[in-house]
Amino acid sequence: MTLVLTTDPPPTADLVVIGGGVLGAATAFYASRAGLRTVVVERRPVLCSLTTPVAAGGFRLQFDNREETALVRESLETFENFAEVTGLRGYDLRLQKQGYLFVTTDPPTARRQAERVALQQSWGVHDVELLKGSEARYRFPYLSEQIISARYRAGDGFVDPKRLTYGYARASNATFLVSTSATGFQLAGGRIAGVQTSRGDIATNAVVIAAGPFTGQVARLAGLDFGLSAVRRHRLVMPEVPEVPSDAPFVIDEDNGAHWRPAFQGAYLVFTDPSTPPGDPLWSVPTDPEFVFLLLDPSSEHTVARACPFWRAVWERGTDHWVLQAGQYTYSPDHRPILGPTPIPGLYLNAGYSGHGVMGSAGGSRRVVDLLLGRADPATNPFRWDRPMTAHAFDVI
């Protein structure tokens, strides 16, 4: 299966997907599988060049709600059987089930961990574990003596987001129209009749917007506003750090929000800073070197050395290389994705994953395509745009 990239827009399509990140590619995969002649419009000359390649690639079933748990569970089953599901024989997603480990030194947080684990088990996530500090340290000897409690699920882990995107894209029969911007919509009788692009119009009755942080801007071209916001998030890449165990889980300090996971011969380090204000969507997201010190300096409130003291030695040695990258989370008001039909017939959304778009990609995109084809009932879709949304209390991840 080869990837069809072109700069010649076809005159018609059954479906136009706007955006060639992981969610656009996954939408194209499920739509092609359902027999739709699909065109993906991507502004840039390659797929997967904006938010998706900056992701840490984590997936987990440790959520605070049943609906996203189901969404990611479906994705995880797809990741586990990716070669078979896609027909890409031997395709390697670099799937590593090394777990997600949330740790705390704080008694009230430890109590909340116990409640969260009980809730997750009641949703069928039976393999999530609550560990005492000593037990957590026995399994993960690099944890600080101060850790009193942890929640852990060994079956969580990470995939390579670029390989995932290109896998979906290759396995689809879609046409990928690159170096082309979607600039507007054509309506007939209030319904979608086509997409305007920088290279010409494509007549179609169905469009999915999967434009990452630009989704709000693209939806406004149709006069719609879904309250989406773009917020900068950094990823610090340290490609060689001898202290990092290559079999470590994603370790999240629930008290200060710092988290890291092994990558290359070192680690990715991330932090979801609740004080970062939303901004305009950006084609080039600037980095702030302060982020490095915020996470690495042992005297910082948000240091990774708090949960895992070996990071202090890394800081003191000072010789390890790092590369700082940034992308933008696309937040919805309740921090859950917005999937499915919009008030304009024929126009659909696949966006707003609020930092979970890689792990949600299969479950979310399959649902969008089912809604588009009338295989699922929009009224019972928990991710519909007009659900009651309450502002989300900030989670550390």
Ligand X SMILES: Cc1cc2nc3c(=O)[nH]c(=O)nc-3n(C[C@H](O)[C@H](O)[C@H](O)COP(=O)(O)OP(=O)(O)OC[C@H]3O[C@@H](n4cnc5c(N)ncnc54)[C@H](O)[C@@H]3O)c2cc1C
- What's the one-letter identity of residue 34? A
Q: In the bound complex, what is the minimum distance in angstroms from residue 29's beta carbon to ligand X?
A: 13
Contact with ligand X (CB under 6 A): which of 358, 368, 369, 371?
358
Q: Site mask, ligand X, residues 281-320, x = CB under 6 A? A: ----------------------------------------
Decide whether 56 or 117 has the Cβ nearer to ligand X.
Answer: 56
Name residues contacting ligand X, limited to 212-241 (CB under 6 A).
212-214, 218, 233-235
We find the least distance from the C-beta atom of residue 57 to ligand X, in angstroms, to be: 5
3-class DSSP state for residue 285? coil
Nearest to 41 by CA among 195, 161, 150: 195
Least distance from C-beta 248 to ligand X, angstroms? 15
Which range binds ligand X by CB under 6 A, 86-94, 184-192, 286-294, 356-364? 356-364
Instruction: Give the torsion through C-alpha atoms of 66, 70, 72, 77, to 10 deg.
Output: 150
Is residue 327 within 8 Å of residue 54, measured between CB atoms? Answer: yes
Candidate residues 36, 71, 147, 211; the one interacting with ligand X per rule CB under 6 A: 211
CA distance 291 to 156: 26
- Number of Cβ within 10 Å of residue 332's Cβ equals 24
| Residue 202 in contact with ligand X, rule: CB under 6 A | no
* CB nearer to ligand X: pick between 22 and 207: 22
Residue 157, phi then psi, degrees to nearest 5: 170, -145
Residue 9 interacts with ligand X (CB under 6 A): yes or no: no
| Cα distance between residue 100 and residue 261, in whole Å | 9
Hey, which residues between 314 and 353 contact ligand X (CB under 6 A)? 327, 329, 351, 353
Please report whether residue 356 would count as binding ligand X according to CB under 6 A.
yes
Report in angstroms how near the CB of residue 138 gets to ligand X at its nearest: 27
* Number of chain positions touching ligand X (CB under 6 A): 41
> Is residue 270 a contact point for ligand X (CB under 6 A)?
yes
Q: How far apart are CA 6 and CA 42, in angstroms?
A: 10
Write out the binding residues for ligand X, residues 161-180 only, by CB under 6 A: none
Calpha distance 7→378 (Å, rounded):
34
Neighbour count for residue 353 (Cβ, 10 Å): 28
Using CB under 6 A as the criterion, what x/- string covers residues 13-52 for binding ligand X? -----xxxxxxx----------------xxxx----xxxx
| Min dist. Cβ of residue 140 to ligand X (A) | 19
CA distances from 334 to 120, 210, 256, 304 (A): 19, 18, 22, 28
Give CA torsion, residues 168, 170, 172, 175, to 10 deg.
120
CB nearer ligand X, residue 113 or residue 215: 215
Q: Of how many residues is the chain composed?
A: 397
DSSP H stretches of helix in 107-160: 107-122, 133-139
Q: Kindly tell me the number of DSSP H helices and DSSP E strands found in the chain.
A: 10, 20
Question: CB 335 → ligand X: shortest distance, Å?
Answer: 12
List contacts with ligand X (CB under 6 A): 18-24, 41-44, 49-52, 54-58, 181-182, 210-214, 218, 233-235, 270, 327, 329, 351, 353, 355-359
